Amino acid sequence: MTNPLLLPRWDNAFDLPPYDMIRDEDYAPAVEAGLAAHRAEVESIAGNPETPTFANTVEALEAAGRLLGRVLGAFYTVAGADSTPAREALQREFSPKLAAHWAEISANKALFQRVADLWARKDDLGLNDEQARVLMLTHRGFVRSGAALTGAEEARMKEIKARLAVLGTEFTQNLLADERSWFLDLAEEDLEGLPAFLVDADRAAGREKERPGPVVTLSRSLATPFLQFSPKRGLREKVWRAFTARGANGGKTDNRGVAAEILKLREERAALLGYASFAEYKLETEMAGSPERVRDLLMAVWEPAKARAETDAAKLAKLLAADKVAGPLEPWDWHYYSAKLRAAEHDLDEAALKPYLQLERMIEASFACATRLFGLEFTPIDAPLYHPNARAWEVTRNGQHIAVFIGDYFARGSKRSGAWCSALRSQAKFPEVEAPVVINVCNFAKGDPALLSYDDARTLFHEFGHALHQMLSDVTYSSISGTSVARDFVELPSQLYEHWLEVPEVLAEFATHAETGEAMPQAMLEKVLGAANFDQGFQTVEFVASALVDLAFHEGAAPADPMQKQAEVLEAIGMPREIAMRHATPHFAHVFSGDGYSSGYYSYMWSEVMDADAFAAFEEQGDAFHPETARALEAHILSRGGSVDAAELYERFRGRLPGVEALLKGRGLLDAA
């Protein structure tokens, strides 16, 4: 029987992986076939006796590896969103093989020599701007991968890459194992004070875990609202301690030793390439450019955020005392008393708000905004998807196919935590025109109907902003399409799109009550928008603390004990004891599951400096859907991928780069500065 992963085209309307035909045992032989095909293609390019040209070297590399890419896209999509022991074993098998494969390509001297030859003659090749950019990125990628290394240093670099790949997979699987294994059984009396939507979600989680009653799991969509609504302080403490202990419970799933080894290997990798630290190596290609600029940004935000958080902590402590609770305010008290404070200051009750934020209506809202801004239309389609909860839409504009969008919204034990956007296929025009297939994965609690918190709704819009960046891409080469941009620029489209959730006319149309169908009352809408910056001290502190720890891990010598280093950083900045890092080291998947966000967790905030200023471009026109501004946003940012330097793209759109004041204003922290 033919392996369905190896078919030249999949037999469905949009060339999607035939998950209804693929078996887990198909992946390994398909990966081997993909590796062999890619290896042969690379050897052919490297051994080409003709003089190097852009076409026979760089474009040939762009065209190579298509089979491998299709197979890996299909596998890693399902491995992240619907993991099983068999798929986890395959991940452990594939990670060192793939690391060795890419290391072999980057260390191919004949191939690098061809690229270096082109780079030396770049001004005489007659390249257009996009080709020149691809050549620069290709050459830089080889150099930064260690292509110029020889002998023992070259061999050691290969070993480091292989080991880092194994450790990243191990970190991810350890974290998933801790999240999957822990749950707290709730007695009927433990449901006291919980709103109906949360009780329903806890009962659904209990059924999934095959328990006799409701449970709280370590899914953020269950743990956070439990901390927010449960009046039982002892239960809140249990949930909080379990949530913050993920990856640090001892035994075979403990990530502390894994993190330490990763940091040491990253330090060695940077040193082999001649950098003073891994942070210097990593930030060289980002908008920030240096660890110093990152620290300056984070500290400019830290002090006003900390001041606001301390002011809020004092208010929460008074509410705690009013409840006649002995002892100081603890981290597991913050969400509970913050909800009470918001109700008092803004007369806004999350339990009353949530029925107006139906998942289905928020999906419609995200689509409708894209229709008004960019002319996109979304039509549901039947497709062979990897899980029954996933759904697909064809995306068109003026009747022309643009993309396929897949949404996978509900939490389950087989899905890693968090939310993300990925692409089964990236947009390209070379070697043939390819429309993207884009996936948003979230972890919302199930319900009938499914209801979101306001933060959940923002997450949905955030990930859809990433999806738009992929879907509206209009470049020639896949290596620079969509979200293939500087890490501290990639969050701009996603964070910018969050702003449309807060546009009053959007909420007025789509925030309708789950039972009555009535629109959110004007008074509640005004309260929602008025409370948009509530608790920004807490949210900013937990984020910036994580970003500063990430930077400190990579800025100097790798710490032998990352937990001690984490504690030292938090003490040095005066971390409020009532607030925990958003991502403590043992579950800091952004930084340790791979090196995408290593030294780069700050990038969300760097992008926020721009997103606040970018939305102001619409506000200045008095129209959140101003057509000319939307066209400029697409033309200069969303469609260009990485074909132009990120700072230049932003300046083309806005005419200048913004300052940190835009961020402080957006978070309501200017008066705390």
Give the start-to-end residue ranges of the domains of the chain.
4-148, 182-246, 252-348+536-601, 355-530+604-672
Tell me, what's the pLDDT at 80? 94
Q: Which helix (H) or strand (E) holds 24?
A: helix 24-46
Tell me, what's the pLDDT at 672? 63
* DSSP label of 52: P
Tell me: cis bond preceding 431? Omega within 30 of 0 counts.
yes
Decide: 503 and 624 in contact? Cβ < 8 Å: yes
Pairwise CA distance, residues 362 & 603, whole Å: 26
Helix, strand, coil tally for the chain in percent (to 5): 60, 5, 30
Q: Is 322 exposed, middle or buried (0-12, 13-18, 19+ CB in 10 A)?
A: exposed
- Judge whether residue 144 has pLDDT over 80: yes
Q: What is the pLDDT of residues 276-298, one digit of tens each?
A: 999 999 999 999 999 999 999 99
Residue 437, phi then psi, degrees to nearest 5: -120, 115
- CA distances to 299, 332, 344, 612, 660 from 608, rounded to whole Å, are 15, 28, 29, 6, 9
- CA distances to 75, 124, 152 from 30, rounded to whole Å, are 10, 41, 33
* DSSP label of 128: -
Q: What is the pLDDT of residues 481-498, one digit of tens each?
A: 999 999 999 999 999 999
Pairwise CA distance, residues 256 & 573, whole Å: 22
To 10 degrees, what angle do helices 256-272 and 562-573 make?
90
Pairwise CA distance, residues 216 & 518, whole Å: 31
Three-state secondary structure call for residue 541? helix
From the candidates 463, 491, 542, 634, give the one annotated as an active-site residue.
Answer: 463
Considering the four listed CATH numbers 1.10.1370.10, 3.40.228.10, 3.40.50.300, 3.90.1150.10, the one that applies to the domain covering 252-348+536-601 is 1.10.1370.10
Decide: 440 and 470 in contact? Cβ < 8 Å: no
* DSSP label of 635: I
Pairwise CA distance, residues 460 & 501, whole Å: 10
pTM of the model: 0.92
Kindly write down the DSSP assignment for every residue of 373-441, as one continuous string. HH--EEEEE----SSTT-EEEEEEETTEEEEEEEEEEE--TTS-SS-EEEEEE--B-SSS-B--EEEEE
Pairwise CA distance, residues 648 & 23, whole Å: 46
Pick from 382, 341, 306: nearest CA to 538? 306
Decide: 266 and 277 in contact? Cβ < 8 Å: no
* DSSP label of 115: H
Instruction: Spell out the alpha helix ranges (H) of 428-584.
Output: 454-471, 487-498, 504-510, 522-530, 536-555, 562-573
Q: What is the mean pLDDT of residues 412-435?
A: 95
Pairwise CA distance, residues 473 & 132, whole Å: 18
Tell me: cis bond preceding 449? Omega within 30 of 0 counts.
yes
Domains 4-148 and 355-530+604-672 share a fold: no
Pairwise CA distance, residues 78 & 6, whole Å: 17
Tell me, what's the pLDDT at 673? 55
Q: Which helix (H) or strand (E) holds 309?
A: helix 291-322
- Judge whether residue 308 has pLDDT over 70: yes
Q: Is 187 exposed, middle or buried (0-12, 13-18, 19+ CB in 10 A)?
A: exposed
Strand-strand pairing, 420-425 and 437-444 = antiparallel
What is the CB neighbour count within 10 angstroms for residue 647? Answer: 14
- Judge whether residue 539 has pLDDT over 70: yes
- Judge whether residue 78 has pLDDT over 90: yes
Pairwise CA distance, residues 173 & 90, whole Å: 12
Q: What is the pLDDT of residues 583-606, one digit of tens each?
A: 999 999 999 999 989 999 999 999
Pairwise CA distance, residues 195 & 202, whole Å: 11
| 303 labelled catalytic | no
- CA distances to 263, 281, 361, 425, 447 from 274, rounded to whole Å, are 17, 9, 52, 35, 54
Pairwise CA distance, residues 333 & 318, whole Å: 12
Residue 412, amino acid? R
Q: Kindly report the CATH number that applies to the domain delimited by 4-148.
A: 1.20.1050.40
Number of residues assigned to the chain: 673
Residue 515, amino acid? E
Pairwise CA distance, residues 147 & 166, whole Å: 22
Confidence band for 98, pLDDT divided at 50, 70 and 90:
very high
Q: What is the mean pLDDT of residues 206-232?
A: 95
Considering the four listed CATH numbers 1.10.1370.40, 3.40.50.2300, 3.40.50.2000, 3.30.420.130, the one that applies to the domain covering 355-530+604-672 is 1.10.1370.40
- Judge whether residue 348 has pLDDT over 90: no
The residue assigned the tokens 């979200």 is 483
Pairwise CA distance, residues 110 & 591, whole Å: 33
Q: What is the pLDDT of residues 631-673, one digit of tens each?
A: 999 999 999 999 999 999 999 999 999 988 888 888 888 876 5
- Judge whether residue 472 has pLDDT over 70: yes
Percent of the chain with pLDDT strictly greater than 70: 100
Confidence band for 343, pLDDT divided at 50, 70 and 90:
very high
Q: What is the pLDDT of residues 224-233, one digit of tens each?
A: 999 999 999 9
Lowest mean pLDDT among 38-42, 59-63, 666-670: 666-670
Residue 593 structure tokens: 């599951």
Q: What is the mean pLDDT of residues 432-448?
A: 95
Residue 237 structure tokens: 């403490």
Q: Tell me what the pLDDT averaged over the chain comes to.
A: 96
Decide: 135 and 480 in contact? Cβ < 8 Å: no
Residue 592, amino acid? F
Q: What is the mean pLDDT of residues 83-101?
A: 96
Q: What is the mean pLDDT of residues 464-473?
A: 98
